[in-house]
Chains A and B, each alone.
Chain A
Amino acid sequence: MATASRVLGWLAALGLAGGLAMGFGVAPRETTQGFVQRIMYLHVPTAWVAYLAFGVVFVASIVYLARRTDAADRVAHASAEVGVVFTGLTIAAGSIWGKPTWGTWWTWDARLTSVAVLFVMYLGYLLLRGMIEEPERGARYAAVLGIIAALDVPLVHFSVYWWRTLHQPPSVMKPGAPTMPPVILATLLVNVVAFTLLYLYFVTKRVELLRREQEARLA
């Protein structure tokens, strides 16, 4: 476990270094947006990791409710923490991109609103986890909220199709060919892989820490 985690950590560090180098050195200056488009190499991977993290919370919470295994609860807890951090990063990076591109830091269109709801719901999830003293009860309540809140993820993704929004529809995660040149796509994918590895690294570390905390409590 410790070696697997270490390997993940190094792979993530390598991927992030490679992604950074590609984002600034290999990917060209996009013609319409210019330099600021490079924020995409952070914004899109963090958004993807947030989707993934809450998807994992959803599955782990169902497993917990069905089997009542502590391991599933720990995975849900760890994944939700990482998901909240990455949702925050997505909003921050998107906001910094939005100011020069759109002309505003924030607007209440369906995409931004549904992401804000997602962020607040999982903050509430972590708050709930912290509030309930009795571990078994806390885990049960958290699992229910974790499942309900995850239903917002498809809403976030499809909001740009279902409603009129200022936010543009996806360029890659959609049916049909990606609407970007191969070099921009490759740079984006390297960063997506790197951030996914970083997510796995954080979650394995956090799960291990939660396990040891529980052991210490029981000892």
Chain B
Amino acid sequence: MRTKRTKFLAGGVVIAAALAYMIYAGVTQSAVYFVTPSELTQAPVAGKAYRLGGMVVKGSLRWEPRTLDLAFAISDGKATVPVRHKGTPPDLFGEERGAVVEGSWTPDGYFKATTILAKHSEEYKAPHDEGQASPKELMKTLKGPGA
């Protein structure tokens, strides 16, 4: 009985430890889901894959539907990064809205995005409500710990 019990206990500890490690590894990997423009501009590594998150700067968005050339700037209020992409952005993508782009930093001084993701805020508006969620409110949703 005693040895059987110890065996079960040991097995349980192993399973719990494996689970804890899996959760830990999974979480730390996705913990820094995106870097902010400030973090990227501090030490940009050309060619390295990044996810970059921030606000699309007002007046920076240029899209050429015939060539699918998309250019805009992403900012966190402190630093701004120019982004270029080839493709159609999601419907919710736009100026003064949150976005997360996947791609890499180029030696030419811009971020080459392969995927554009639109970040939605937790605010909902009925049509008769006044205006859209303010950029300041949207900015709040982008702030993670240490951001």
Alpha-carbon gap, A144 to B11, bound state (A): 12
CB-defined interface of A197-209 with B at 8 Å, one 1/0 digit per residue? 0000000000000
Give the residue among A102, A109, A144, A162 with the most B Cβ atoms within 10 A: A102
Interface hits, B40-88 → A, CB 8 Å? 53
Q: Is A214 an interface residue (CB 8 A)?
A: no
**Which positions 168-203 of chain A face chain B at CB distance < 8 Å?**
168-171, 179-181, 183-184
Interface size of A by CB at 8 A reads 40
Task: Give Cα distance in the complex from A103 to B33, angstroms.
Answer: 16
Q: Is B136 an interface residue (CB 8 A)?
A: no
Q: Total number of A-B contacts with CB less than 8 angstroms?
A: 121
Give the secondary structure class of B's interface.
Answer: loop
Closest Cβ neighbor of A99 among chain B residues: B90
Within 21-41 of A, Cβ neighbours of B (below 8 Å) are at: 28-34, 37, 40
CB of A7 closer than 8 Å to a CB of B: no
Contact A179 B124 (CB under 8 A): yes
Residues in A neighbouring B53, C-beta threshold 8 A:
164
B132 at the interface (CB under 8 A from A): yes
Question: Does B110 make an interface contact (CB < 8 A)?
Answer: no
Does B23 contact A31, Cβ atoms closer than 8 Å? no
B95 CB, min distance to chain A CBs, angstroms = 13
